[in-house]
Amino acid sequence: MKKYKTLPNLIIIGAQKAGTTSLFNWLAQHPEIYGDESLKDFNFFLDDFYYKELGIEWFSKQFKPKNNEKIIMHGFVNYMYFYDIAIERLYEYKKKYRKDLKLIAILRNPIDRAYSAFWDAKKVTRENASTFEEAFKKEKFILAKGSYKEKASLTYIDHGFYFIQLKNFKKIFREDIKILIFEELISNPEREIKNLFKWLSIDETFLPSLKKINESGLPKNLFIQKFIQQLSAPKFLKGIIPMRIKYLKWKLSRELNIKKINYPPINEETRKYLLNVYIEDIKNLEKLLGKDLSIWLK
């Protein structure tokens, strides 16, 4: 089996709207970690065109470490959500190419995560519903007949069943998957990041700048935002256009055309309803992780 020295051995698999962009940035600051921001949300293992047609050699060429870093990092927030395909392909990848592969998942209170994801979809003009409650009523239809893109970004409630998504990741990757809790990461980022450095067997004394990235907001100009979202390269160019160019679309839609806002709090009746929806999954997750998650039950 041919070896590709630049293939990633650390992958952030999710969850969506749980601080993955900030974490990627914090980790990438470490001198022993290579993390190109344009490869943070790149759908290699789920996209058949990239995974099957362009393949692993093309993938390896996208990573260009400069200082012989010990850790090469990649991420995609929906690897965790589309777990059936992701587990199979990531495990095959680990066996064939990177036996030292490690995975990171970040879990956020599923109700807060769902509500945040709704506002994020509004931010990038994917969501047309005027309220969160109106939006999640459409989920059954999207899950049954929606496109991949709709399932990836508009199924706010379904994304929060973490036990279902992670049980087989945990079974297969065992000690090679680290599961963080968003609320702990936010309340004590220095402690959590040092624990990660220790787990990765790199210098624990390094402290990155712990700035939050990809925070909430709404478009400054709705027409420009919709235009940005419609930009798409034809298939034959997907493997030719540099990742840095593709990343500009992310920057434009999530930072440059965005005004900061504090969105309104979730309706308390909606919160109570969703707590009943998630309670069994949370209890099962507590057993899987051996961790008290009562902070999510308040």
Instruction: Supply the pLDDT for residue 278.
Output: 98
Residues 134-156 have a mean pLDDT of: 95
Q: What are 99's two structure tokens? A: 């036996």
Residue 97, amino acid: Y
Handedness of CA 284, 289, 290, 291 (dihedral sign): negative
Q: How far apart are CA 80 and CA 166, in angstroms?
A: 7
Q: How far apart are CA 261 and CA 265, in angstroms?
A: 12
As a whole number, the mean pLDDT across the chain is: 90
Q: How far apart are CA 32 and CA 266, in angstroms?
A: 41
Instruction: Supply the pLDDT for residue 226.
Output: 63
- CB 189, CB 228: distance < 8 Å: no
Q: How far apart are CA 169 and CA 177, in angstroms?
A: 8
Residues 86-100 have a mean pLDDT of: 97
223, pLDDT greater than 60: no
pLDDT-derived band of residue 298, with 50, 70 and 90 as boundaries? confident
For the ranges 55-64, 121-130, 159-168, the lowest mean pLDDT is seen at 121-130
- CB 286, CB 293: distance < 8 Å: yes
Instruction: Supply the pLDDT for residue 123.
Output: 86
pLDDT above 70 covers a percentage of the chain that reads 84
| Domain-wise residue ranges, the chain | 10-297
Torsion angle, CA of 211/213/219/224, rounded to 10 degrees?
120
Instruction: Supply the pLDDT for residue 5.
Output: 82
254, pLDDT greater than 90: no
Residues 234-239 have a mean pLDDT of: 63
Task: Pick the closest to residue 33 from 169, 172, 284, 208 (CA basis).
Answer: 208
Task: Pick the closest to residue 10 from 41, 43, 36, 33 (CA basis).
Answer: 33
Q: What backbone phi and psi angles, to 5 degrees, belong to 209?
A: -75, 120
228, pLDDT greater than 90: no
Classify domain 10-297 at the CATH class level.
Answer: alpha beta
The β-bridge partners of 72 are 34
Task: Pick the closest to residue 55 from 235, 239, 233 (CA basis).
Answer: 239
